Amino acid sequence: MFTWYKRGTPIERRTFWGCFAGWGLDALDVQMFTLAIPAIIAAYGIDHTQAGAISAVTLISSALGGWLAGALSDKFGRVRTLQITILWFSAFTFLCAFAQTFPQLLVLKALQGFGFGGEWAAGAVLMAETIRPENRGKAMGAVQSAWAVGWGGAVLLYAAAFTWLPADTAWRVMFGVGLLPAILVLYVRRNLREPARIASDSNEPKVSMWRQVTQVFQPRVLKTTIIGAVLGTGAHGGYYAIMTWLPTFLSKERHLSVLNTGGYLAVVIIAFWCGCMASAYLLDRIGRRRNVALFAFCCIVTVLAYVMLPLSNLQMLVLGFPLGFFAAGIPASLGALFNELYPAEMRGTGVGFCYNFGRIASAGFPVLVGYMSHSMSLGSAIGIDAAIAYGLAMVAVLLLPETRGKLLRPTSPEQALEPINDAELALNRARSQR
């Protein structure tokens, strides 16, 4: 499983750790809000629908930020864009700690989202162009597992803050810690390098920013873009329907204390990490399409059982593992798949659009869960919304071509100097056609 890492070049390993840390710190910042929802509701006197609106606005802004950052990475470089987005989301997460009113928090969370979405887009393309084709799925799936690491850090911070501090102070302290990711920029500047550009890129005329952003709607890639956007919608819709409201479901409907809620979440988080690693292995083993379809189907079955069956607390604890495991498989697959669908000159834009359009469309799912919970249990609302979303993802991925082993150029600077023999080229073509 980890042989690829041992055999990787120094720049491959440094890029892996830079993106791993960035994605983990993203998760720390984002998951703090989902954990703090009950305290924020109490602090501002808002209802579930308004709390869901904060999540929705953040998702929409992160989608726009990811699309824009993807285009910027095509125009100005992957590494430079990565640095800007890290600084952006760190600064606005920190400022959320000082929001005095609900509208202020809404605006600051929206601005945070721009950087959050952009960081993933720039980092995903940087990884895809740096890692060798035969290891791309394993490496990018492993990077996605950093979300579980950051999520776990958020739960530990949540448990400590709400145990030792008053609720209205605790959630502000959590957001204040969100400034920490800015330190990562120092590592990125010193250790990561821009992937080599292929020769043909330098001879192409420069395009305007508007054309750069909209080139994924060209006729030759329009079908891919539409299906990719639907896939992103299903993947994100299911995930956010579950994870935005899971802490509230456990505390309000299952009546678990702060520490017991943290215990249940710990099982889901550990399972999420395991699911990412399993998906990383399967991506290069059975292919992108089969892997996404498999995990989507398992997600539907598991989430419906988790929130709708009359389970005991122990049974919920046990079922929390497959819930987190299967929820991880789809997002762990999207980075490799979307990068392999587009040519180099629009790769960042394509990845940023498909992955992040899903965030815009899926922004309605947390709001819808909150709205539906007025007429049914919160658990039922979560289950229905998540099942619809994952069903959409399963259908969409089967309409895309299999891209496993597809050769991407440019790659890392060291690999760019290596000749590609006919046998290697034929092998990669055969894999991509399976």
Separation between Cα atoms, residue 11 and residue 51, nearest integer Å: 42
Nearest CA among 275, 228, 241, 237 for reference residue 398: 228
**What distance in Å separates the CA atoms of residue 10 and residue 337, rounded to the nearest whole number?**
24
In this predicted structure, what is the pLDDT of residue 418?
42
Domain boundaries, the chain: 11-193+217-429
Other CB atoms within 10 A of residue 342 CB: 25
**Residue 205 main-chain phi, psi, to 5 deg:** -65, 150
Contacts of 7 (CB under 8 A, 6+ apart): none
Which tokens hold the place of 327? 């929820």
Return d(Cα 231, Cα 235) in angstroms, integer: 6
- pLDDT bucket at 11, cuts 50 / 70 / 90: confident
What band does 256 get if pLDDT is binned at 50, 70 and 90? low
Ramachandran region, residue 405 (left: φ > 0; alpha: ψ -120 to 50; beta: rest):
left
pLDDT the model gives residue 301: 92
DSSP, collapsed to helix, strand or coil, labels residue 73 as: helix
Cβ neighbours of residue 21 closer than 8 Å, sequence gap 6 or more: 146, 184, 187
pLDDT, position 429: 45
For 11-193+217-429, CATH gives 1.20.1250.20
DSSP state of 198: P
- Supply the pLDDT for residue 61: 85
- Over the stretch 330-346, which tens digit does the pLDDT of each residue have? 888 888 899 888 887 88
Report CA 204 to chain centroid distance, whole Å.
Answer: 32
Q: What pLDDT, in 10s, does the model give residues 203-240?
A: 455 666 777 788 889 888 899 999 999 999 998 888 88
How far apart are alpha carbons 69 and 61 in whole angstroms? Answer: 12
Q: Using one digit for the tens of pLDDT, what is the confidence trace for 161-184?
A: 988 999 889 999 999 888 877 787
Query: Mean pLDDT highest for which of 83-87, 243-247, 252-256, 419-423?
Result: 83-87
In eight-state DSSP terms, residue 195 is P
Compute how many other C-beta atoms are within 10 angstroms of the C-beta atom of residue 398: 14
| Per-residue confidence band for 124, with pLDDT thresholds at 50, 70 and 90 | confident
What are the tens digits of pLDDT across the range 50-82? 887 887 788 788 888 888 888 888 888 888 888
Mean pLDDT (the chain, rounded)? 81
Residue reference for tokens 């597809």: 406
DSSP-assigned letters across all residues of 333-394:
HHHHHHHTTS-GGGHHHHHHHHHHHHHHHHTHHHHHHHHHTTTS-HHHHHHHHHHHHHHHHH
Non-local (6+) Cβ contacts of 187 within 8 A are 18, 21
pLDDT higher than 90, residue 397: yes
Q: Which amino acid is located at 67 in the chain?
A: W
